[in-house]
Structure 1
């Protein structure tokens, strides 16, 4: 199946997807796949991260975005996480600042969703 999907993406030269909502992510490589083939994505929403530490996931994704010019359009990540609380937001905020993953950013929580937005 993956070969078929890759072939579809290869045959499409101008993919104009700007918002991506993913139901479930098991590995960060799944997100890399979409970001590589849909470079215009500005908003990424993930509804479930089973078996993945949100801090590790966010750090890995932001490092890749920072280091790859082809991910420069992404400006918002939303992760739905039932365990999200204010303490987690503070921890993620500190991680982003200390590791200089983003410069001009906002992080907030609305119920079970964590939003990270930057310019």
Structure 2
């Protein structure tokens, strides 16, 4: 997380994507894949926050086991990451992830501002 960037603005663009592990993939294997991807993409991405959310309460009909949660400070930052995926070498890791580790519903994107901060 880039805490200074998160604190600098109330503006948020959030991308989420519900996913489930492919059969035979353990939580430890998936965690290792996430850590490896973050380390490899660290200097090439534009998101200011990232998390894997495993909902527990109120998700009886959730469309997956977990969801990716990317936070950007602008649509431009999101689109710069899409450019990197499409034309800068990021697609190889994305294809490997979707083919070998997870099944996902596809990303959803929201744009807005924080209503309240602590």
The TM-score with structure 1 as length reference comes to: 0.27
The TM-score with structure 2 as length reference comes to: 0.27
More helix by share: 1
